[in-house]
Structures are given as structure tokens and as C-alpha cells.
Amino acid sequence: MSLPSRRKMIRYSAAILCGRKFAKSEPISKLKIVVAGGHPGDPEYGCGGTIAEFTDRGNDVSILYLNRGEKGCGQRAAGECGATRVSEARRACQILKAQPRFGDQIDGEAIVDAQHYDRFHRLLESERPNLVFTQWPIDNHRDHRAVTMLVYDAWLRMHKSFDLYYYEVSNGEDTVMFSPTNYVDISHTETRKRAACYAHASQSPDRYYGLQSQVARFRGIESGYSMAEAFVRQVGSKGNLLP
């Protein structure tokens, strides 16, 4: 048997070294993720388990609320209600190890026009996300529909530079006609999701989490997990960064 030439040995050694270098850099670098929702609580209910999966893996997640939910406390004054819901949102983000951010719109009065497209674009661009989740565009609440349009416009203006996914909340009551393309197993993070949702104590969590947990169990049946969150991937997204 002939011995390999010196040139072949050099190439072989280089390949080994390159392989070792590649192996050391295999873990995916930290991702920047934004989860946008109409009100405090929407992102937590829709994909709190997925948020926890991402942050547990060392990724950076911001939860971006379009408004402060200032009209969601019955007869309480808007300023008082908004302060309560901001405090609840900060607590929920702490549980999920995410950073809260707030838009400048008013609960129930979402505006989608050129000026607000520009403002939201600048806000989202400042985050420089790799991945964005937002609400499904066919939804019974106008604030949910509004945040979807603002995110989608920013995605186009940012040249589709981030992956875009849509999530569901209170399926059948808010979100309608939702047909998932992707699922995330939340079997190990559902308790954190639940705690984050219950941090929104002013928003009747017993009622809303009861419905959302049924949705998670059904999505688990669909995908083969005990509990799952479901998403629709926007056509044109370049990769699949879901956990």
C-alpha cells in the first residue's frame, strides 16, 4: 500500500483542524427575539411557553406591548388601570426572563396610519430582531389586528430581515381561522407560562387561562406533545429558528 503524499497529509490535517474549529462553534449564537401583542398579557397567553424556552437557552427576548391596557379594569380610571397593568406586565416578564417594552397607543383606540407605521418601524428596528412573533391578523379585537399590521409593515420595510411568526390567543373567542404550520413543545415550561399569565391578576386569569390551557392541550394532541403552542410562519421568512 502506498503512503499518502505530503500534500494529501497537509490537506487532511487542515480538514481535521477546520472540523474541530467548526465543532467548537456549533452552538447557535444568542438570538434577539421580539414578541409583540396588543395588550399586556397577550404575548404571555399566546406564546409564554415558547418565550421561556428561548430565554432558558440564553436568548434575549423583548415583549412589546402596543398599549398599556389602560381601559381593561372595569370602572377604574385609565391612569390607575394602566399603572396596574404595566406593573403586572413587568412581573410577568420577570418570570419569563424577558424585557418589557411599551408602544405609545391607547387601549381600544389603535391607529394604523402612515405616522404610526413610521413610529412602530423605528421601535422595532431599534431592537434589531432575528425573530418576531405577533398576533394573527384575523382576530376579533382591533388592537390585535392593528399590531399585526404594524409588525408586517415593519417586516417589509426592514427587507424581511427577521423571521416572522403569528400566534393565537383564546382561539375561537379572539383568534379565528388559525391553521398552524409549526409547533413548540411547552411541556417543561407551561408552569412558567401559567405563572406569567397569572401575574396579570386584574384580568381574570382563571377564566382566560382555562381556555388557553385547553388550546395548548389540543395543539399538543396535534403535534405529539403533552402541551404545545402553535404558530403560522410567514411566507418569505428565511429560516426556522423555533426551539
In the predicted model, is pLDDT for residue 16 greater than 50? no
Place 85 in a pLDDT band, splitting at 50, 70 and 90.
very high
pTM: 0.87
* Residue 96 counted as domain residue: yes
Question: What band does 1 get if pLDDT is binned at 50, 70 and 90?
Answer: very low
- CATH number of the domain at 81, please: 3.40.50.10320
Say if 243 falls within a structural domain. Answer: no
> Alpha carbon 106 to chain centroid distance?
21
**Mean pLDDT on 160-177:** 94
Q: Write out the H or E segment, with its range, that includes residue 132.
A: strand 131-135
User: Would you say residue 3 lies in a domain?
Assistant: no
Per the domain annotation, does 146 fall within a domain? yes
Q: How many domains in the chain?
A: 1
Domain-located, residue 202: yes
Residue 93: CB partners within 8 Å, gap ≥ 6? 63, 99, 100, 196
Give the span between the Cα atoms of 43 and 53, in whole angstroms: 14
Is 220 a member of any domain? yes
15 or 175, which is more confident: 175
Q: What is the pLDDT of residues 171-226, one digit of tens each?
A: 888 999 999 999 999 999 999 999 999 999 999 999 989 999 999 999 999 999 99
Identify the three-state secondary structure at position 157.
Answer: helix
* Alpha-carbon gap, residue 169 to 167, rounded angstroms: 7
- Give the model's confidence band at 28: pLDDT under 50 very low, under 70 low, under 90 confident, else very high: low
Q: Which three cell numbers stand for residue 158?
A: 426592514
Sign of CA dihedral 63, 64, 70, 72: negative
Q: What is the pLDDT of residue 8?
A: 45
Domain that holds residue 91: 31-233
Q: Does residue 130 or residue 208 have the better pLDDT?
A: 130
Predicted confidence band at 51 (pLDDT cuts at 50, 70, 90)? Answer: very high
Exposed / middle / buried, residue 86 (Cβ in 10 Å: 0-12, 13-18, 19+): middle
Please report whether residue 17 resides in a domain.
no
User: Considering the domain boundaries, does residue 189 fall inside one?
Assistant: yes
